[in-house]
Amino acid sequence: MEFATFILIVFAIFIIVFAIKGLVMVQQAQVIVVERLGKFHRLLGSGIHIIWPIIEQARKIEWKYVKVLPSGEQVVVHKSINRIDLRETVYDFPRQSVITKDNVVIEINALLYFQITDPKKAVYEIVNLPDAIEKLTQTTLRNVIGELDLDETLSSRDTINQKLRSILDEATDKWGVKVNRVELQDINPPRDIKEAMEKQMRAERDRRAIILQAEGEKRSRILEAEGIREAQIQKANGEKEAKILEAEGEAQAKIKVAQAEAKAIELITNTIKESGGNPSQYLIAIKYIETLREMVSGKDNKVVYLPIEATGVLSSLGGIKEMLTK
């Protein structure tokens, strides 16, 4: 009876140990590597699984990597895990000094986005996967930056990111890792280089401002000259049109006067002819009198003019008197 009780107790303990050790629950996007008697046996995906304790166990993985604290301090983290996360992981690499092609020492801080696609390779093909990826990224970054000048490094971030991603993705493929993106966060040149770059940028901005100001003044002068020339042209056209109109007006006036005089002469001639007089003698007498009036019409004129043909004039006046009487 006591032996049977002992057997039952042993069996119960075995069941409890089996339940504790044999039932394994794996969360979504996680994988457990199971070894049987020290040899790879299978991968456990998400869900509940049963393993045989003692002969089967989950492979423990020792990972070591450098973590950058918010204060900027770098600490080495040792991590022992038996579950591999299949989600994309962001790894923030510590700052490192890199020498460019023109021998300028700069500090670069990079971000790496990678994802484990083959857990078996990640465990058995490389020791300490995060540390290996970090060292590979550092050496690759030094090689890529070493082929570029400082100016190219500062202006070609996208090119550097694409080149790093391509090289790292190809190199980590045998580790069962997919490198999705590489981003350069900060590129910090030395202080004297920064000051020289700031002076250069300030001088460039001043030069552009001077050029823009000069171009503005040039354009303003051109517009002003064009405005003056246009105003002069318009003024000249206006004066020309005014003179043309004035000349046309004078011509019309002279034509009207001439027409009026011709009409008056015609009427006088007809009248004199009807009275039996001589129109030519009358017209000559009129012109003679007008000429004499212009000669004596000056201011303070005290000279008396007596024409030689006075008798002729008097006879003409007698004719005019006779014409008017009739």
What does the pLDDT look like over 63-90, one tens digit per residue? 887 777 777 677 888 888 889 999 998 8
Partner residues linked to 92 by β-bridges: 111
* Mean pLDDT comparison of 167-176, 199-208, 240-249, 275-284, highest-scoring range: 167-176
Q: Rounded to whole angstroms, how far apart are CA atoms 80 and 24?
A: 18
What does the pLDDT look like over 214-230, one tens digit per residue? 888 888 888 888 888 88
Q: Rounded to whole angstroms, how far apart are CA atoms 99 and 22?
A: 54
Whether the pTM exceeds 0.75: the reply is no
Report helix, strand or coil for 34: strand
Who's near 30: CB < 8 A, 6+ residues apart? 46, 83, 84, 85, 86
DSSP letters, 246-257, are HHHHHHHHHHHH
Residue 285 in contact with residue 317, Cβ under 8 Å? yes
Q: Rounded to whole angstroms, how far apart are CA atoms 285 and 309?
A: 11
Q: Rounded to whole angstroms, how far apart are CA atoms 19 and 7?
A: 18
Q: Find the angle CA(106)-CA(104)-CA(171) to the nearest 5 degrees.
A: 60
Closest C-alpha among 178, 32, 65, 79 to residue 132: 65
Residue 37 has pLDDT above 60, yes or no: yes
Consecutive H or E run containing 179: strand 177-188
Residue 302 has pLDDT above 90, yes or no: no
**Average pLDDT, stretch 51-66?**
84
**Average pLDDT, stretch 54-70?**
81
Partner residues linked to 36 by β-bridges: 39, 56
Residue 178 has pLDDT above 90, yes or no: yes
Residue 130 has pLDDT above 70, yes or no: yes
**Average pLDDT, stretch 103-113?**
87
Residue 307 φ/ψ, nearest 5 degrees: -70, 150
Residue 119 in contact with residue 177, Cβ under 8 Å? no
* Mean pLDDT comparison of 79-83, 293-297, 306-310, highest-scoring range: 79-83
pLDDT of residue 50: 85
Helices (H), the chain: 2-22, 119-124, 129-145, 150-155, 157-171, 191-275, 279-295, 310-325
Query: By percentage, how much of the chain surpasses pLDDT 70?
Result: 82
**Average pLDDT, stretch 87-112?**
86
Q: Taking the mean position of all CA atoms in its chain, how far away is CA 274?
A: 98
**Average pLDDT, stretch 33-37?**
91
What does the pLDDT look like over 115-126, one tens digit per residue? 999 999 999 999
Residue 29 has pLDDT above 60, yes or no: yes
**Average pLDDT, stretch 191-204?**
77
Closest C-alpha among 158, 164, 130, 132 to residue 146: 164
114 token code pair: 């990678």
